[in-house]
Structure 1
Amino acid sequence: MDGHGSTDNGDITLERRASVSMILVHLDLKGAPPKVSYLAEVFPLFSALGATGILIEYEDTFPYCEELQPLRAAHAYSPQEIREILRLAQINHLEVIPLIQTFGHMEFVLKHSAFAHLREVLSYPNSLNPHKDESHQLLQAMIRQVMDLHPGVRWLHIGSDEVYYLGEGEESKKYLSETGLAVEDLFMCHLKKVAAHVVSTYPGVRPIAWDDMLRSASAQTLTDSGLAQLVDPMIWDYTPNLEVDNRVALINKYSECGFKKIWLASAFKGATGASQQLTHIGHHLENHRRWLQVMQRIPPNILQGLAITGWQRYDHFSVLCELLPVGIPSLAVCLQTLKNGCYSKEVAASIQDVLGMSHLDTENYSSEASGSFPGSDIFTLITQSIFYLKTPTQDLLEKNRIVTGWFSPYHRKRKIIHPIMVQQIEPEAVSLLSNWTFVLEDLHAALLKIFPAVTVEEWMEEHLLPYYLQLQQLLQDLNSALENQT
């Protein structure tokens, strides 16, 4: 770690304590959107731990209507629920910033036949064609509907990260060829147009955009673009080995190009694997330690705030990763590290007290998980299923020498088994299946209290049911093979 010093009790000390006035918790709702009743439980916790705002990425869970009705998922929030979320945020002193994707990550829009003709590359639904007037009419309608339900917001995040395949569409190829411009110019032109619409239509609202598509642009290009007058960049980096010098240089570059305010973005979950189910707190803690070092070395007045992202899917089509309740201990560590400017034994003890946890393991995936925070039962059950059920089941099916040596797929297909081998396999399989049954029932019930049924079905089917079904099939094959011997 690139710390500036440490003490024997594990405290991280800083030469100049970094601070950030606005700390946002990012809610990625394009997968596993929590019920409003659960948000009512966790918003007070977010606030108590040091959050000052919520960055809400609705995607298809926003109640789009009229011509945008196809964008609305069956389990989307209602307008009344959105208003209740905003009320809950307000009473917990959490400022809300909505996030709308306006360029890349537009799969939830462009997958629909009604909007497929607005794709940058017709085969891929991820990026919007910036040349069509209809594309901008679409974005303006999306922005209008979201803003109508969020009166009084001071910022609007307009996304714009990872605009893959930009410049590869036929209209873009022709445009770039005729003008001699680069892809980055094409990106900045679209971003400027969207930001200008927000600024002109909603006075007092400042657009925010992810910065990754701007990073490689020269200082002169950025200055000449005029973006600094319209948008604040949000620099994201979720890695534990974040290059401090590189990020400081990038912030200084943006400052020199006229950007008055910069946002940063870290992560508390959803950044270590598309199908990750448990959160490695140490990964995210180290990421925040590095960001604190960056904050030490930049002018304090340039930093507007930091968003702690919690991705629920890598994109619209990917699987669900760590659920929000599983990531709450990590979020608590990240929030308190930012609030205190360090992570120490005293900070850890305070977090454990707030979460009702007897032990907080930042270095490993905790196998002794427990707590009293909202959703802690889900945290415990998922942890137990992975350590005490999934791993032993995999070992039985794939590594047990009796199963692999005497009851292989060849044997199972032909119902061949030595009867004595049934006695070697069956007791462990029956015991595991019984344990799976109890955990699956409890977890299913716990998940339904917090998430829509469609989310529960997806998560269970993706992450746990395959192991249960494989065990069930093994026992059925054992019985069939044994009957075949008599």
Structure 2
Amino acid sequence: NRGRSGGMRRLVHLDMKGAAPRAAYLAEVLPLLRALGATGLLLEYEDTFPYAGPLGPLRAPHAYSPGEVRAVLSQARAQGLEVVPLVQTFGHMEFVLKHKEFAHLREVKVFPNALNPHKEESRALVKAMIDQVMALHEDVKWFHIGCDEVYYLGEGEESKQWLQQEDNTPEKLCLSHIKAVASCVASSYPAVTPIVWDDMLRGMSEETLAESGVPQLVQPMIWDYAADLDVEGKVHLIEKYRRCGFSKVWFASAFKGATGVNQSLILIGHHLKNHLQWLEVASKSPADVLEGIALTGWQRYDHFSVLCELLPVAIPSLAVCLQTLKNGGYSEKVKENVEELLGMSNLEIDTFMSTSLGTFPGSNILTLVTQVSFYLKSSVDELLERNRYVTGWFSPYHRKRKMIHPIIMHHFQPDAVSLLSKWNAVVQDLQAAMEQVFHTCTIEEWMEENVYPSLQKLQQVVDDLDEAIKAQN
């Protein structure tokens, strides 16, 4: 089955709802993605798109400029990478519905996640977003309209009334909105096929799906990021979608952002297994049904959650996954290809990467993040919680009263000071490396989540020591 997997489209998903890379970094990464086997990009801009006019409030302070978007798109074209834009149009609309200007369009008044499908104005909003994104994306063949995880649908006041009418169900409500959005894309952009995430459709009966008219309008993207995904179940799901009238389906795997909401390092093995399972599904499905696969790289679980693994940290995982798809499987040869393309000497699949260096763009961030994630908290905890001189003679009680035994101090002050200066140097290097790739807001957020809690504890103990020594003298 090598031929079939080698021929499928492979879109790399860039999730910009957190840690959106600078445009200059994307320009460096695109040729590498192409070399690794990507054939396109699935671009989820979220609040980093340069929305204008009435949609201006959606635009984050660090959003790309129209010129930057054009540059990235033309660089992608130059690399032969097909671009598919993604705009959420139903669920996961926090970046829109959190703003007071649009809060009246929520399905449930207090929750900013889902759009009210009954309002004319909701459709007008979605159309305006699609039009602004399409204006910068000429010649796209597909447009992803999102529609996953539409939580609380049917629980708004208007929905409750609508659902009281005979034959109305939450499923029909969901399908009617998807149909409205897809029809809007079809009428304005006849050459473009809408794609939708499939989770809201999975549990629906064949009859419901077939009668809705949705299968003629969209291609479902079946997503599953598990290492042990159920291959037979997926094959049956594809058959069901075919019977309902969907002409083609997409798969969606994950190379990062799927193993923990605040994960900072990547276990490549998990993601590799996920891709091997998808290859298995592809080999058991009719050749003409599969349009392609999107390798998702989530950067937050939703608009309000913390950052998970940063893109540069995940490049080795992405490389292994792309090469595995391209070659129809994983082997020692694939591993060597990846090591050569990334300039890495020892790729670790089943354990977290050691602090080995690579030559790919942003590889210094991987090295330093690995150091911080492995050793910062553990080394500070070791000193503060397991060093008997600190726990016995410089406890919170002592620190508060500036009490210190002069002899004991010599047993741990040098350790504390040298540990602090070591970590300050690492963090300075990491800060400098991150500045090349990310905006200040991302660096601040990552540091506050992953560095400062431990570093500040260490700084505090050193400061308290100095204070206590002064008090002694």
SS at match of 1:162: coil
Indicate which of 20, 45, 53 corresponds to 2:40: 53
* 1:255 equivalenced with 2:242 (yes/no): yes
Q: Does 1:303 align with 2:302?
A: no
Distance in structure 1 (CA, Å) of the matches to 2:416 and 2:169: 61
Give 1:124-203 correspondences, 5 Å limit. 124-203=111-190
Cα deviations across residues 65-118 of structure 1 (Å, max 9, x unaligned)? Answer: 000000001111111111101100000010000000001110110110000111
Alpha-carbon distance between aligned partners in 2 of 1:347 and 1:353, rounded to the nearest angstrom: 10
Secondary structure at the aligned position of 1:320 is classed as coil
Question: 87, 103, 117: which is aligned to 2:90?
Answer: 103
Name stretches of at least 5 consecutive residues in structure 1 with no aligned partner. Answer: 1-13
Aligned to 1:315: 302
Aligned-partner Cα distance in 1 for 2:157–2:307: 34
Match of residue 226 from structure 2:
239
Report the equivalent of 2:414: 427
Q: Match for residue 216 of structure 1? A: 203
The residue type equivalent to 2:239 in the other structure is N
Q: State the 1:386 CA deviation.
A: 2.0
Gap regions ≥5 residues in structure 2: none
Q: 1:369 is matched with which residue?
A: 356
1:453 maps to 2:443: no
Aligned position for 1:205: 192
Question: Displacement of 1:448 after TM fit?
Answer: 0.8
- Range with greater deviation from structure 2 (333-342 or 28-37): 28-37
Q: Quick one: which amino acid aligns to residue 161 of structure 2? A: K
- Tell me, yes or no, if the aligned pair for 1:234 and 1:264 is still in contact at 8 Å: yes
1:151-185 CA distances to partner (integer Å, 9 max, x unpaired)?
11000000011111111111111111224422122
Could you tell me how far apart the structure 1 residues matched to 2:382 and 2:213 are?
59
* Partner SS for 2:201: coil
Inter-partner Cα distance in structure 1 for 2:348 and 2:378: 20
Per-residue deviation, 1:368: 2.9
Question: Within 2, Cα distance between the matches of 1:405 and 1:214?
Answer: 61
Amino acid at match of 1:316: H
- Which residue identity lines up with residue 281 of structure 1 in the other structure? I
Matched, 1:34 2:21: yes
> Which residue matches 1:117?
104
What does residue 384 of structure 2 align with? 397
Q: Is the 8 A contact 1:19 1:295 kept in 2?
A: no
Structure 1 residues 282 and 172: alpha-carbon distance in aligned structure 2, compared to 1, 3 A threshold: same
Q: Does 1:353 find its partner at 2:340?
A: yes
Amino acid across the alignment from 2:138: P
Letter paired with 1:368: T
> What's the CA shift string for 1:12-31, capped at 9, x where partnerless?
xx799744520000000111
State whether residues 20 and 303 of structure 1, in contact with CA within 8 Å, keep that contact through their aligned partners in structure 2: no
Residue identity over aligned pairs, in percent, reads: 60
Aligned to 2:200, the other structure's residue is in SS state coil
Q: CA-to-partner distance for each residue in 1:253-275, whole Å, 9 max, x for gaps? A: 11111111000000111111111
Alpha-carbon offset, residue 476 of structure 1: 1.1
CA contact (8 A) 1:326 1:379 kept: yes
Q: Which residue of 1 aligns with 2:30?
A: 43
TM-score normalised over the length of structure 2: 0.97
Question: CA distance change for structure 1 residues 16 and 151 in 2, over 3 Å: closer, same or farther?
Answer: closer
- Deviation digits for residues 336-369 of structure 1, max 9, x if unmatched? 0000011111110111011000100011111232
CA distance in 2, matches of 1:32, 1:171: 37
Whole-angstrom CA distance in 2 between matches of 1:270 and 1:294: 22
Structure-2 residue corresponding to 1:5: none
**In structure 1, what is the equivalent of residue 51 of structure 2?**
64
Code of the residue aligned with 2:309 in structure 1: it is: E
1:264-320 CA distances to partner (integer Å, 9 max, x unpaired)?
A: 000111111111111110110010011111111100110000000001111111111
Match of 2:253 in 1: 266
Question: Are the counterparts in 2 of residues 415 and 484 from structure 1 also a CA contact under 8 Å?
Answer: yes
1:339-350 to structure 2, matched below 5 A, reads 339-350=326-337
Amino acid at match of 1:398: E
Distance 2:334 2:358 in 1: 17
Tell me which residue corresponds to 1:293: 280
Q: What is the match of residue 11 of structure 1?
A: none
Q: CA separation in 2, counterparts of 1:405 and 1:196?
A: 71
Matches of 1:239 and 1:30, distance apart in 2: 22
Report the Cα distance in structure 2 between the residues aligned to 1:188 and 1:423, rounded to whole angstroms.
71
| Equivalent residue letter for 1:92 | Q
TM-score, normalized by length of structure 1? 0.94
SS in 2 for 1:301: coil
CA contact (8 A) 2:2 2:328 kept: no
